Amino acid sequence: MTQKLKDEAILAPANGVTLIDVAKVAGVSPITVSRALHKPEVVSEQTRQKVQQAVEQVGYIPNMLAGGLASRQTKLVAILVPTISHSIFADLLKAAMDGLSEAGYQSLLGITDYSVDKEEQLLGTILGRRPDAIVLTGTEHTTLTRKRLGASGVPVVEAWDWTDDPIDMLVGFSHEAVGTAMAQHLYEKGYRRFAGLFVSDNRAMRRCHAFYEALSVLGIEADDAVVMSPPASLKEGREGMRELLARDTRPEVVVCSSDTLAQGVLAEAAEQGLQVPSDIAVMGFGDMANASQLHPALSTVRLDSARVGALIADALLKRFEDQRSCVRLDMGFELIDRQST
């Protein structure tokens, strides 16, 4: 077959052509075509090639609706994240999608806007697509969500958090441990006057509480954190910083619930002519790609969300291979000292 012929043939529509058309052209039965495409090892090399040629000639594109209905597996994985506007979740999502697509799985994205109710609602329509697995962010869900997932038997990964009572699989880290570690770390660096700037999502607040708890254990009293509502953008960071600076005593270090917030703090400090870290130090959370490139480079907590995404994909692929596999992985985290503390 010439290249030209192939090019013209392959363009056939996704609508008309079915397995049967391919079978006719190849001179075999429809089921043999199906096998040639999905289980080439059980078909003779000769017929496999005939089928392959026929597929290209008629421009066949398998109908995965029909395939999924018949085989009860959709090669679809639903991934629910609170937002895609934070590089943390964008990176996680990208890595998970890449890992899954290598194994032939497509991803169905859901954005929960940090709301467990929206998560529940998304889940309702998503389950209608009969995904082979579902990835959730966090371990906080509505009871209905938990029940539906438990009853549906779909493999689940809860990501980006840690709990002793997971629905199924788990890839993440303890936000309480992060809060505690940040407090101890900054204390050991000699800071004594602390301020917190957090966004009021579930996980950030848990880091916040652990942070203040640890401070109190260290014998330090600190003013309450400034708490903003999501999303966490530079704007919130600047506003929060202004609020902190308006207080009676200026803190030595500002601990933020995300790098983005911290970046806003840096911008506000620059605007007000404050030197970082000599006048005021700043610590973020997330180690997004920008963090090391800011001026001054941002001290933060490194999570490697791309790795979390990749490990989510791994966990799922393992489960697909072996029903009994159940990955539960505490990724940990790493404190990164740069110029801002």
Determine how many CB atoms are found less than 10 A away from the CB of residue 151.
8
Least Å distance, CB 101 to DNA, is 18
Q: Are 186 and 212 in contact (CB under 8 A)?
A: no
Q: Are 197 and 254 in contact (CB under 8 A)?
A: yes
DSSP state of 334: E
Single out the residue of 5, 7, 29, 85 in contact with DNA (rule: CB under 7 A). Answer: 29
Residue 38 in contact with a copy of itself, rule: CB under 8 A: no
Q: How much helix, strand and coil, in percent to the nearest 5, is found in the chain?
A: 50, 15, 35
Using CB atoms within 10 Å of the CB of residue 79, give its burial: 0 to 12 exposed, 13 to 18 middle, 19+ buried: buried
Number of amino acids touching a copy of itself (CB under 8 A):
62
Number of amino acids touching DNA (CB under 7 A):
26
Helix ranges (DSSP H) in the chain? 3-9, 19-26, 30-38, 45-58, 64-71, 87-102, 116-127, 143-152, 175-188, 202-217, 234-245, 259-271, 305-321
**Which one, 44 or 125, has the nearer CB to a copy of itself?**
125
Touching a copy of itself, residues 186-225 (CB under 8 A): none
Taking CB under 7 A as the binding criterion, the range among 32-40, 74-82, 107-115, 324-332 that sits at the site for DNA is: 32-40
Touching a copy of itself, residues 128-187 (CB under 8 A): 128-130, 143-144, 147-148, 150-154
From the list a copy of itself, DNA, none, pick the one residue 35 interacts with, judged by a Cβ distance below 5 to 8 Å according to partner type. DNA
Residue 5 in contact with DNA, rule: CB under 7 A: no
Residue 10 in contact with a copy of itself, rule: CB under 8 A: yes
- Report phi then psi at 108, rounded to 5: -110, 115
Half-sphere exposure of 39 (CA within 13 A, CB side): 6
**Which one, 20 or 217, has the nearer CB to DNA?**
20
Least Å distance, CB 93 to a copy of itself, is 7
- Residue 220 sits at the vertex; the CA angle it makes with 217 and 223, to the nearest 5 degrees, is 120
Binding site for a copy of itself (CB under 8 A): 7, 10-15, 59, 61-66, 68-69, 74, 84-85, 87, 90-91, 93-94, 97, 106-109, 111, 124-130, 143-144, 147-148, 150-154, 233-235, 237-238, 263-264, 267-268, 270-271, 289-290, 293-295
